[in-house]
Structure 1
Amino acid sequence: MPEWRKDPVVDRWVIIATERAKRPHDFRCPPDQLNSGDCPLCVGNEDKTPPEVLAFRDADSPANQPGWWIRVVPNKFPAVLPNEGYYAWQDGIYEAMNGIGVHEVIVESTDHEPDLVNQSDRQVEEVLWAWRARLLDLRHDTRLKYIQIFKNKGRTGGASLEHTHSQLIAIPMVPADVAEELAGLHEYRRHRNTCAYCDVVHQELSGRDRVVRESGRFVCLVPFAARYPFEMWILPKEHQADFGQIGEDDIRDLAPVLREALLRLSEAVCRPPYNLVLHTSPINVGGELFYHWHFEIMPRLTITAGYELGTGYFINPTPPELAAEALRDALEGAVPPPHAYTIPEEVPKHV
């Protein structure tokens, strides 16, 4: 029978539509038709992007030239701009301000590949270091209150380029979804004196019905009230509020968990488009140590239609327990090809 399930942090209910239950083979993902010719993110095309703001590269290689293995550049078509100042205005009941912020692209590999699953764990570590570095650098601009790191994979997921990359947008306010989580976490702590996400981790590791993969420091799971078929979260087992404060041991442990989560999704469900988002604590607002950072992986296997848009509630045709089982079993015999670029062994630690 169908079930209503409630997210333990935010006041959001999801319908688990067991009468419509869909297994991995029930989904059909048409191939993405992204333009792969003359890619501006490939090695040798550095002049086709704005000048880099960060690059992990060979010591003797000049900026904005080949020799890199991670490269961060301003988005050529930014949603927001880092103006020197900002101003706001009102027109009766309407309120507005100029579009300040930062919009960057993180080029995750020299390989022209559509995803991280074909990279080495070492390369994924470098991506995590780059995300951390930009979070730490941009928070020095006290106008900014939140930095959203996200990855769109596939045309349906919002990607316009095939080459594996992620983006960040830093903005001068806390987004509504994050504010809702913060409010839910605060209320949960007020009643129970614990972190809701810590309790999620504890309960999922105890029952294990929705656990996909566990490492020493992280757990990948299908959430109890998953909004999307095969949705996954990756959470640190210990309470950590700010992704920008993770250390070397965390990154080494997290990289294979993240890569394998994406690989399991690719192998289980016809290489679907997806969105990956990092939820972390706001910046320059104070008092957010009770937050618990985490990744959310949201496959684009169903269409958000009238009911979802009208209510904010989702209908998920795949029970989370079934999805977790399929994802756990997905890597039998699957081995990713080796990464093409060899990162120099003498690279200094990014700390």
Structure 2
Amino acid sequence: MATATAFNPTESPHRRYNPLSDSWVLVSPHRTKRPWQGQVEAASKPELPAYDSQCYLCPGNMRSNGASNPQYTSTHHFVNDFSAVYPQAVDSPRDPHPLIKTAPISGKCYVVCFHPDHNRTIAQMDTADVLSVVDAWCHLYSSIPRDEPSVKYIQIFENKGSAMGCSNPHPHGQVWSVSYIPEEPAKALAMQARYARENSSTSTPSHLTHAPNLLLDYAHFELGGKRERVVALNEDFVAVVPYWAVWPFETLVMPAKKHIPSVAHLTWLEKQSLAGILREVACRYDNIFDCSFPYSMGLVQQPVRAEGDDTQAFAHAQLHIHFYPPLLRSATVRKFLVGFELLGEPQRDLTAEGAAKRIQDSDPTFPRWAQ
């Protein structure tokens, strides 16, 4: 039998566990040295006007369904003209076989225009403008259940850039309300509940200052060590490249000090902190490769109501935000999930620590490429 050598996380292939999804990612740090002869994208440095008369989202313009946008001067939201789901009450069809299952759902999709200017991104907005976006999220999360009694989960997200399938460059995101809990948040909620259950006792453990909370404990771990994966921090939130990251420059934004189940539980100061750290992460991204960094960003939080209206079922849910950007080595080389990653498990070359160092070293104030 060969003699084992010392483990080196910067050279040795290894797997890392994701406690939010109960899954693993293969890390192959030695592969960062391989040459790249694959697909090259166009660098995203859009030169857009502040107003585009052909844009369906700009203030005052007519949308594709004939409705006109108001002359909004801040954040504006409306029901998506091409919603993926819509309110309906239909009977469940009879399944012809145990392997063939169908479940009708209902819901509604909203578009949230972040800013009236067509040529802004979160990185290019003032923190006060991003705060207006956070306020819109809070409003929709709180008001939608009153109008849509069947809603169980509200998914808030943004797709930024054509590389992430965004069809309109106007700064905007989406809010989908659905009558079920989608698979990804369902996994995260289940794992948080399991962590709380497995780590609970008659009293809080001496090394904790709070009841067991998976993401709060993880935040405390990252902040209590070398902070090698911490990329942004303020009074209430921390952003890290998670130890188990799949995407090269993936980040996770989470509360740094307390249990916050959803955006509806944010105080005014916490809303400001969240707006500030979202803008900082976006700025740091843009300055890694001097381009408008594409990503999908989304919130995971407490469902608006639990199955059977059991309000305690998701008591341990912790608000957190994922940034999944596709860029790998430069503004023109992106990450693809193919081959072993589709058939086996996710794999990455650049370690989370290496990615965090690149983000830490980037400018947190304003995109250089846009100046």
Q: Which TM-score applies when normalising by structure 2? A: 0.80
- Please name the residue that 2:109 is paired with: 103
Match of 1:196 among 214, 228, 249: 214
DSSP-derived class of the 1:122 partner: helix
- Please name the residue that 2:318 is paired with: 292
One-letter code of the match for 1:257? I
Structure-to-structure mapping, 1:236-275, within 5 angstroms: 236-237=255-256, 238-269=258-289, 270-275=291-296
Question: Aligned-pair distance for 1:97?
Answer: 4.1
Match of 1:220 among 223, 236, 239: 239
Cα distance in 2 for partners of 1:49, 1:317 equals 45
Q: Deviations over 1:138-159 (max 9, x none)?
A: 1222311111111001122120
- Please name the residue that 1:205 is paired with: 223
Q: Deviations over 1:125-180 (max 9, x none)?
A: 00000011111111222311111111001122120001010001111111111121
Cα distance in 1 for partners of 2:244, 2:194 equals 19
Cα distance in 2 for partners of 1:40, 1:290 equals 40
One-letter code of the match for 1:212? V
- Please name the residue that 1:344 is paired with: none
Cα distance in 2 for partners of 1:20, 1:219 equals 30
Cα distance in 2 for partners of 1:30, 1:236 equals 36
- Please name the residue that 1:308 is paired with: 341
Match of 1:152 among 126, 145, 159: 159
- Please name the residue that 1:88 is paired with: 92
Cα distance in 2 for partners of 1:134, 1:22 equals 46
Structure 1 gaps, min length 5: 53-63, 339-351
Q: Rate the CA distance shift 1:95–1:108 in 2: closer, same or farther, 3 A.
A: same
- 2:354 is equivalent to residue 328 of structure 1: no
Q: Deviations over 1:22-52 (max 9, x none)?
A: 79x9996524599976111112215556769
- Please name the residue that 1:59 is paired with: none
Cα distance in 1 for partners of 2:217, 2:268 equals 25
- The farther-off stretch of 9-18 and 203-212 is 9-18
Match of 1:38 among 38, 54, 74: 54
One-letter code of the match for 1:248? W
Match of 2:144 among 114, 138, 144: 138
DSSP-derived class of the 1:151 partner: strand
Structure-to-structure mapping, 1:34-73, within 5 angstroms: 38-46=54-62, 64-73=69-78
Question: Aligned-pair distance for 1:337?
Answer: 11
Cα distance in 1 for partners of 2:224, 2:361 equals 20
Give the conservation status (yes or no) of the 8 Å contact 1:33–1:155: no
- Please name the residue that 2:15 is paired with: 4
- The farther-off stretch of 257-266 and 279-288 is 279-288
Q: Which TM-score applies when normalising by structure 1? A: 0.85
Cα distance in 2 for partners of 1:277, 1:153 equals 11
One-letter code of the match for 2:82? F
Q: Rate the CA distance shift 1:50–1:13 in 2: closer, same or farther, 3 A.
A: farther
State the identity %: 27
Cα distance in 1 for partners of 2:322, 2:315 equals 20
Q: Deviations over 1:208-234 (max 9, x none)?
A: 110001101000111001011010011
**RMSD over aligned Cα, in angstroms?**
2.7
Cα distance in 2 for partners of 1:188, 1:111 equals 44
Q: Deviations over 1:164-214 (max 9, x none)?
A: 100011111111111211221122112212111111100000121100011
- Please name the residue that 1:181 is paired with: 188
Q: Deviations over 1:77-105 (max 9, x none)?
A: 1111123x233212323332445211111
Q: Rate the CA distance shift 1:112–1:314 in 2: closer, same or farther, 3 A.
A: same
